[in-house]
Structures are given as C-alpha cells and as structure tokens.
C-alpha cells in the first residue's frame, strides 16, 4: 500500500473557503496526486472554532479555522489527521471538542490526543499511528488526569509504545511536532531522540512545526523525516500591527509529500514529491525543492560539533533579522500582562522539555 504524509495544514486567511472561493481550483493538481494514495495523513494545525470561542492561554499568535473548511480535508482526500501540535488548543476546550466532533461527523480519523493510539488494519498491514507535541513548541492543552488534550513528547513514553508495538508486529508512524521554526536543520536533541528510538524498533518519524523543510535520513530500518514544511499556511497577523507577525517566505512555501510504500508491516521504500505554495495554484514537482532537501539531508551525517555550530549560525542570523524589524513602538505594544505570562510560560515549558527529552538523552 502507499501512504502520503503531509506537513502543516492551516485553513485560515487565503486558505479558508470563507475568504477564497477558488481553493478547489488552487488545489486541483495536488488533489489529483493525493487521490493516487491508499491513505493520506496530515498535521491539522488549525482547530475548528466559532466566533464566540475566545483565545486561550499565553501566546504571541492564535490561529483557527471555520468548520466549513472540513470540505477541504475531504477535497484533498485526507483520511487521517494528527492533532498533537501547539495550535490545536489555541481557542480552548470548547474549540478542541468542536474540532473532534466536526472530524467525527465527516468520517475523518484523528490521533495524537488523550494518550490514544490509532490502529488501522488495511491491505494486510497493521498501522499504529501516534502523535506527540514537544515542549520546544510551547504547546497548550497537554493531556493530563485533570483535562483532555494533546500528547506530550516524552522519551520514556514513546520508547515504551515502540517496544510494545514491536511485540505486536505493528508498523509504527510517529507524528512529531517539535523543533525551531524557520530553520532548515533540526535541533540536535531531536536528531539524537529519533536515532535513539530507531535502536528499539523500526518506525517512521514524521516531523512538523518548523514551517520549512528539513532533512531525511535512514537509520537502521527506520525512516526519519524531521520536517515536511507547510502544506498550506498563510501570513500570520495579530491585533498589535497591520503588518504580519510572520510573513511567508519562499522557504516557508516549499514542502513535500512523503510517500511510503508499506507491505506486510514493513517499509519497502519511500519517495519525496515536492510541492510549492504558489500564488495561483499549488505546484507539484518543483525540482529545486528536491535539491535543497538533499543538501539538508547530507548535513545530518557530518560531525556533531560541526553540525551544531552550523545550525547555531543560521539560527542566530534568523533571530537577528527578526530583531532588526522591531522598533520602540513594537516593544511598547507588548508591555502587558500577556507578554509577562508568555515569558513565564516559555520558561516553564523549557523545564518540562528538559524533564521529558534532555535528561533521557544524557543517560547514554
């Protein structure tokens, strides 16, 4: 069987049917491509929300989607979505519950929440789908005994799932929301994490959140794709400025479909199908994206210290560029309780990240 994995899907702005009546035409070529797969899985980044659903928690930006955009998931032949990401709880528990009910009503399966695993039996294969959100993304709504929510990325938990599923002869796909936005090289912690998991059993690491593509590598019998980039994502605005908080660059518009060929619960092969978020249509088959992906993938095999130094240099350049765009007025508008809460929330998540990821990696 053939499976298609898609990156970040965000139905807002120009990618909402309420704002763009031509979306069916825009997605025509990629829709035809996706119809050729037996199973299509995507990361649904925008929760469905009504106008009376207020924003939740401390964040710099919130994104949501009209429930009407469920028709786009159907159009694109998307069968299953991951909900373990840092935006699915942007509008609180009411929006979270609405998202589940809209998906249920239209027969689209989902995973990555409430410690539940989705097992799909098809064409002689038993697929185990699990989704996890890393504290590096500053997530809201982590599942706990007190409230339903998204699954946290915790090394011990993920390792146990992989061990148990190997004994059941299940084919594992781990959908992982993690990393640093807008940088084409994954955090080295996540490289170590993904490689360590490959020592336990074969699996597919299906990454998203950076909003740009990152490299792919085969480790033992596992396939690790650190970030598929944006499948569709528009500029992000806030009430603080007429200019976008995040403006989509060419780098943000480059993505790929990760095609998996599965037979008898084993990965027989994979293929990259590049896609580009064009102005008039979604382009399928941009060779420039394939060439860039090869370069990013090659970098994963260099010496650890050299890799970290190279990545840190790129990260520093990106942050410096962002800071240059901020004037005094930018800072004055952010002198409020929400900004204080955001800083404290980020520090708390940094501690949780160390507990759930870093400390486990230091053990070896």
Report the CATH number that the domain containing residue 75 is assigned in CATH: 3.60.21.10
The distance from CA 210 to its chain's CA centroid, rounded to whole angstroms, is 7
Distance separating alpha carbons of residues 263 and 2, to the nearest angstrom: 9
**4 neighbors 37 (Cβ within 8 angstroms):** yes
Among 360, 33, 41, which Cα is nearest to 171's? Answer: 41
Distance separating alpha carbons of residues 197 and 236, to the nearest angstrom: 34
**88 neighbors 99 (Cβ within 8 angstroms):** yes
Per-residue pLDDT of the chain (364 residues; tens, 9 = 90+): 999 999 999 999 999 999 999 999 999 999 999 999 999 999 999 999 999 999 999 888 899 999 999 999 999 999 999 999 999 999 999 999 999 999 999 999 999 999 999 999 999 999 999 999 999 999 999 999 889 999 999 999 999 999 999 999 999 999 999 999 999 999 999 999 999 999 999 999 999 999 999 999 999 999 999 999 999 999 999 877 888 888 999 999 999 999 999 999 999 999 999 999 999 999 999 999 999 999 999 999 999 999 999 999 988 888 887 777 777 676 666 667 677 788 888 899 999 999 999 888 865 4
* pTM for this predicted structure: 0.95
Residues 6+ apart with CB under 8 A from 322: none
| Total number of domains in the chain | 1
Pairing of strands 254-263, 2-9: antiparallel
Domain containing 205 equals: 2-361
Among 159, 105, 102, 106, which Cα is nearest to 130's? Answer: 159
Distance separating alpha carbons of residues 32 and 316, to the nearest angstrom: 40
């Amino acid at each position: 069987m053939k499976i298609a994995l898609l990156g970040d899907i965000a139905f807002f702005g120009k990618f909402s049917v309420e704002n763009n009546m031509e979306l069916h035409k825009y997605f025509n070529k990629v829709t035809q491509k996706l119809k050729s797969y037996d199973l299509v899985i995507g990361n649904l980044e925008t929760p469905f929300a009504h106008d009376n659903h207020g924003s939740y928690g401390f964040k710099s930006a919130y994104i949501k989607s009209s429930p009407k955009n469920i028709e786009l998931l159907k159009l694109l032949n998307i069968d299953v979505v991951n909900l373990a990401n840092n935006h699915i709880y942007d509008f609180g528990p009411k929006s979270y519950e609405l998202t589940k009910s809209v998906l249920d009503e239209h027969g689209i399966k989902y995973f990555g929440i409430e410690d539940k695993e989705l097992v799909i039996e098809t064409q002689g294969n038993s697929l185990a789908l699990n989704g996890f959100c890393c504290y590096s993304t500053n997530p809201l709504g982590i599942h706990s005994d007190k409230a339903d929510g998204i699954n946290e990325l915790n090394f011990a938990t993920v390792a146990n799932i992989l061990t148990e599923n190997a004994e059941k002869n299940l084919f594992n796909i781990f959908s992982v929301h993690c990393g640093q936005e807008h940088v084409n090289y994954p955090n080295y912690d996540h490289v170590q994490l993904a490689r360590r998991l490959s020592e336990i059993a074969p699996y597919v690491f299906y990454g998203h959140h950076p909003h740009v593509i990152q490299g792919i590598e085969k480790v033992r019998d596992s396939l690790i794709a650190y970030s598929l980039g944006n499948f569709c994502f528009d500029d992000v605005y806030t009430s603080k400025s007429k200019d976008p908080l995040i403006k989509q660059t060419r780098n943000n518009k480059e993505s790929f479909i990760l095609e998996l060929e599965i037979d008898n619960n084993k990965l027989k092969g994979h293929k990259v199908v590049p896609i580009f978020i064009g102005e008039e249509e979604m382009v399928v088959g941009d060779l420039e994206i394939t060439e860039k992906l090869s370069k990013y993938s090659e970098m994963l095999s260099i010496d650890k210290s050299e890799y970290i130094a190279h990545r840190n240099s790129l990260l520093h350049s990106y942050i410096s560029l962002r800071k240059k765009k901020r004037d005094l007025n930018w800072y004055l508008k952010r002198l409020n309780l929400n900004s204080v809460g955001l800083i404290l929330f980020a520090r708390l998540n940094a501690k949780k990240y160390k507990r759930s990821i870093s400390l486990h990696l230091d053990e070896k």
